[in-house]
């Protein structure tokens, strides 16, 4: 049965690569760093590529890093992409076995009656530019990110959230009334 399964897998791989040859780079692998490099190469972006992994916080850390690169002046445009996949059966089994799944209906974030998490998945790609450059170039500006603050404090998530919000508001010169979106990951 093992030999037959191997033939099926090989046949599927051959067919997939024939239809989608961009999936394989020069080394024959497909990893997040390969994907980042392939995007840069395919669209002739004339820049480097970086893949990051910070667990569930990868999107936020990637956004923060992209903003730092723009602020430094090293790049004028950043493609910031992130994806989260956790809706397959092994992920649910792992979350359930560790007691992380919400037992009741979903509650508001940070609510007192929250008893677990409701997993989700998605992807996002942002094209980031400094606001002055976007205005100068006549780009459609969909949103303005004033600041991002990433704080890791595993022993006191509440203090980490407060510190992160205060840092972002101080650096951006905003007040709580100005905040439109908060992304947080606690664990």
pLDDT at 92: 82
Specify whether the CB–CB gap between 109 and 184 falls below 8 A.
yes
Answering whether pTM is above 0.85, one says: no
Least confident of 23-37, 76-90, 122-136: 23-37
Helix (H, G, I), strand (E, B) or coil at 166: helix
Q: Is the pLDDT of residue 60 over 80?
A: yes
Across 136-156, b (16+ Cβ under 10 Å) vs e yields: eeeeeeeeebeebbbeeeeee
Q: Using CA atoms, how far apart are residues 34 and 5, in angstroms rounded to an integer?
A: 27
Specify whether the CB–CB gap between 66 and 36 falls below 8 A.
no
Q: For 113, list phi and psi in degrees, rounded to 5.
A: -95, 5
How does pLDDT run across 116-131, given as a tens digit for each residue? 777 777 888 999 999 9
Tell me the mean pLDDT in the region 1-27: 72
Burial environment of residue 23 by CB neighbours within 10 A (0 to 12, 13 to 18, 19 or more): middle
pLDDT at 107: 63
- Return the structure tokens found at 95: 């979350």
Nearest to 77 by CA among 90, 85, 67: 67
% of the chain beyond a pLDDT of 70: 82
How does pLDDT run across 133-146, given as a tens digit for each residue? 999 999 999 999 88
Least confident of 91-105, 111-125, 158-172: 111-125
Q: Is the pLDDT of residue 56 over 60?
A: yes
Q: Using CA atoms, how far apart are residues 140 and 124, in angstroms rounded to an integer?
A: 18
The model's confidence at residue 153, banded by pLDDT at 50, 70 and 90, is: low
Q: Is the pLDDT of residue 187 over 60?
A: no
């Amino acid at each position: 049965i093992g030999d037959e399964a191997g033939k099926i897998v090989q046949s599927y791989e051959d067919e997939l690569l024939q239809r989608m040859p961009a999936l394989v780079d020069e080394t024959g692998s497909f990893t997040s760093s390969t994907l980042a490099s392939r995007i840069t190469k395919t669209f002739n972006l004339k820049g480097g590529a970086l893949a990051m992994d910070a667990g569930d916080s990868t999107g936020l850390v990637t956004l923060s890093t992209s903003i730092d690169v723009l602020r430094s002046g090293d790049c004028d445009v950043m493609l910031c992409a992130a994806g989260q996949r956790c809706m397959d059966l092994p992920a649910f089994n792992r979350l359930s076995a560790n007691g992380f799944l919400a037992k009741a209906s979903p509650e508001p974030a940070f609510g007192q009656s929250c008893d677990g998490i409701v997993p989700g998945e998605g992807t996002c790609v942002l094209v980031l530019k400094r606001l002055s450059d976007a205005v100068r170039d006549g780009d459609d500006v969909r949103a303005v990110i004033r600041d991002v603050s990433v704080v890791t404090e595993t022993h006191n998530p509440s203090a980490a959230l407060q510190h992160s919000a205060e840092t972002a508001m101080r650096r951006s010169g905003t007040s709580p009334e100005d905040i439109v979106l908060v992304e947080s990951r606690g664990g």
